[in-house]
């Protein structure tokens, strides 16, 4: 076997060594290129660079075949095991990195605080290498400027921003609720038309509802002396007897069970929006963001907000 004097060898690219090994093992530049999924010209250039660095010819080339030279055989024997080991190690990297890890900065509308607290707790329990930092706000947040990884936002249509990626997670439906004390004083509505006679705790952003029930529709304009832009505030005001209001069923489950709220007009509800996950655009979604978005989507399927 011909020996190799490493002191005379120039800088060697590991990619070129992999190309070289493939040519030795297939005895063909074309077959090696197909095996590696690269153009034949890339294989030829890689081997040429390696021969230049080694300062010797590694193959004997004829019009019909390619055969490894004595120097090529010596090099192959020295590097084949290492190249195979590196290939195996690189192949295992996706599996090693499959588990999400690192910080995850999320912004969520304040009205979802209770729902998201329980969801984030379950997410953190599943992915113990992820640190979740939640920012609650009803204001628009510049995700890039604020260093936010993903936002959960309500919108009726897909966000038109080419710099962002978005995924619709699920619908947000609301129903009408009131405190027993209010109903005892003002009476219980029996039809959507009866709602016009009642005092509302008004949501300023959506003052009109289109209630639906088994194909039937009814438009309702909400009127009242108390108004707000937060469902959380409206919930507390309705529980306190200030009037009737619309809320997401998941938001008031505990209040209904405790007898603090009663659903008015059971069966009637209104689709007011959809929940979207939005994150800064990139060729590949970060693993932590993808895991979180999938987790939220699956949670909403199992337990819808409305």
Q: What is the pLDDT of residues 225-271, one digit of tens each?
A: 999 988 889 999 999 999 999 998 888 988 999 999 999 999 999 99
**DSSP code string of the chain:** -----GGG-----HHHHHHHHHHHHHT-HHHHHHHHTS-HHHHHHHHHHHHHHHTS--EEE-SS-EEE-HHHHHHHHHHHHHHHHHHHHHHHHHHHT-S--EEEEEEE-GGGHHHHHHHHHHHHHH-TTEEEEEEE-SS---HHHHT-SEEEEEESS----TTEEEEEEEEEEEEEEE-HHHHHHH----SGGGGGGS-BEEETT--EEEEEETTEEEEEE---SEEES-HHHHHHHHHTTS-BEEE-GGGGHHHHHTTS-EEESTT-BEEEEEEEEEEE--SS--HHHHHHHHHHHHHHHHS---
* Spatial CA neighbour of 264 closest among 189, 186, 193: 189
**Which residues make beta-bridge pairs with 226?**
201
Q: How do residues 112-169 score in pLDDT, each as one tens digit?
A: 887 888 889 999 999 999 999 999 987 888 888 888 999 998 887 766 666 788 899 8
pLDDT the model gives residue 22: 87
Q: How do residues 49-76 score in pLDDT, each as one tens digit?
A: 888 888 889 888 877 778 889 888 988 8
Give the Cα separation of 258 and 45 in Å (integer). 75
Total residues found in the chain within this entry: 306
- pLDDT above 70 covers what percent of the chain? 89
Q: Is the pLDDT of residue 96 over 50?
A: no
Burial annotation 198-225 (CB, 10 A radius, 16+ → b, else e): bbbbbbeeeeebebeeeeeebebebebe
Give the Cα separation of 119 and 114 in Å (integer). 9
- Average pLDDT of every residue of the chain: 85
- Domains of the chain: residue spans and CATH: 6-96 (1.10.10.10), 103-306 (3.40.190.290)
- pLDDT above 90 covers what percent of the chain? 39
């Amino acid at each position: 076997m011909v020996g190799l004097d490493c002191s005379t060898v120039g800088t060697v690219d590991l990619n070129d060594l992999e190309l070289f090994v493939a040519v030795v093992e297939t005895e063909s530049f074309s077959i090696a290129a197909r095996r590696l999924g690269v153009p034949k010209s890339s294989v030829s250039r890689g081997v040429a660079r390696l021969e230049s660095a080694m300062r010797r010819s590694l193959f004997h080339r004829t019009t019909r075949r390619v055969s490894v030279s004595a120097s090529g055989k010596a090099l192959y024997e020295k590097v084949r095991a290492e190249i195979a080991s590196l290939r195996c190690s690189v192949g295992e990297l996706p599996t090693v990195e499959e588990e999400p890890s690192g910080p995850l900065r999320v912004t969520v509308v304040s009205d979802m605080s209770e729902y998201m607290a329980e969801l984030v707790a379950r997410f953190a329990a599943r992915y113990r290498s992820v640190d979740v930092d939640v920012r609650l706000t009803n204001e628009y947040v510049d995700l890039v400027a604020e260093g936010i990884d993903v936002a959960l936002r309500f919108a009726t249509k897909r966000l038109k921003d080419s710099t962002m990626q978005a995924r619709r997670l699920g619908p947000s439906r609301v129903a009408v609720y009131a405190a027993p004390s209010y109903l005892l004083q003002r009476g219980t509505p029996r039809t959507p038309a009866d709602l016009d006679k009642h005092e509302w705790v008004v949501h300023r952003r959506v003052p009109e509802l289109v209630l639906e029930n088994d194909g039937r529709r009814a438009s309702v304009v909400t009127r009242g002396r108390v108004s707000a832009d937060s469902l959380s505030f409206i919930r507390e005001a309705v529980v306190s007897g200030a009037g009737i209001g619309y809320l997401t069923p998941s938001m008031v489950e505990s209040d209904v069970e405790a007898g603090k709220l009663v659903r008015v007009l059971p069966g009637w509800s209104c689709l007011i929006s959809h929940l979207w996950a939005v994150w800064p655009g990139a060729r590949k979604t970060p693993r932590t963001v993808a895991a979180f978005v999938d987790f939220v989507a699956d949670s909403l399927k199992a337990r819808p907000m409305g």
